[in-house]
A = this chain, B = another copy of it.
């Protein structure tokens, strides 16, 4: 696989730093372009950013100069693959411009996740949704497009749900979350608000979780031979989202009602067998960021725990535990997901990897970015 140049929009934020950490030695991608806010353009990354991760800031990145956060700003050098981790209002404005300019925008933002022709993808779960990318060509002819990954809680949840949904059908589910502060970015949650405390609310989080799961587990809306959009899964989610004094790792308590009965063994088997990216038809895929097992069940009363299970599968595996019958629905379990790796930067990178394998980064038939910029002016 040839190494492709990529850019990061929102490079200095909490998720932006994770992008840099995870892409530093990536075999397929090479960071050549960074942008953050307007006021940091022109500074080196090291000047503009207070690095807060516990691995060193790569020297090469430290010295890169931040670009203006518009495609026009650095048109000739703009890479065709842009990872985006800007806040939703900014994403709503900027991401379509980059797509119009001819970039594949792989976004962690919530702005366009529920868009009618925007794939919301977790590769192990609904890779097929990427077909809808073609539908975006009606909006721009530059070859650019937008692909999103879900909310951090939805990703961790949908991984163990997917194999259950395939085998038994999920009718409804309750999920109650205990979410880490890193999910709120930086500076994010004030220490005065969360030290020794629980905040029983995260803005829009319950809504996102409820609607994104239905899109992720849903199907395609096909017209003729073409995927034109999405069909929501016929299931109901009720979410209760909370912030707890944990640095990294979202814990979620789940109870599911299935359409077909399932024994404990059948459920554990469904998780154990869930290897969608290395299964039939995928031999030789080997996406660098894909964990061998997207879902791992751990025995023991008191698992999973952020302290013990966060980094499983390099932070890309959802760890599940405490499978037990529910007195109201069918089965209850608890899951843990790394919210800034699998739940954010890692999710977008995995999306980029599957796009690469599927040939969605082949831009040869499209005009170069400079030209596309002229032709695809985005209306205000």
Contacts and interface: CB of A to CB of B under 8 A. Distances in A.
A247 B245 CA distance: 12
A186 B181 contact: no
Closest CB pairs A-B (n = 8): A176-B176, A187-B190, A240-B253, A201-B302, A197-B307, A200-B334, A238-B328, A196-B196
A244 interface: yes
A238 B329 contact: yes
Given A192-B186, A328-B174, A198 B238 contact: no
When all copies of this chain in the complex are counted, the total is 4
Contacts of A187: 187, 190, 192-193
A152 to B, nearest CB: 15
Interface string A301-342: 111111111110000000001100011110010100000000
A176 B311 contact: no
A109 interface: no
Given A176-B176, A197-B305, A200-B303, 6 more contacts: A14-B192, A174-B255, A178-B198, A181-B192, A196-B247, A210-B327
A172 interface: yes
Contacts of A238: 255, 326-329, 332
A327 B236 CA distance: 7
A90 interface: no
Nearest to A14: B192
Contact of A198 (B194, B240, B246): B246
A242 interface: yes
Interface string A30-59: 000000000000000000000011100000
A309 B56 CA distance: 9
A311 B311 CA distance: 15
A237 interface: yes
B181 A195 contact: yes
A128 interface: no
Contacts of A305: 197-200
A189 interface: yes
B174 A181 contact: no
28 contacts: A52-B193, A52-B308, A54-B308, A172-B328, A174-B174, A176-B176, A181-B195, A186-B192, A187-B187, A189-B192, A191-B193, A195-B245, A196-B247, A197-B307, A198-B249, A198-B305, A198-B306, A200-B251, A200-B302, A200-B303, A203-B301, A236-B327, A238-B329, A238-B332, A240-B255, A242-B334, A244-B244, A245-B246
A307 B244 CA distance: 12
A151 interface: no
A197 B306 contact: yes
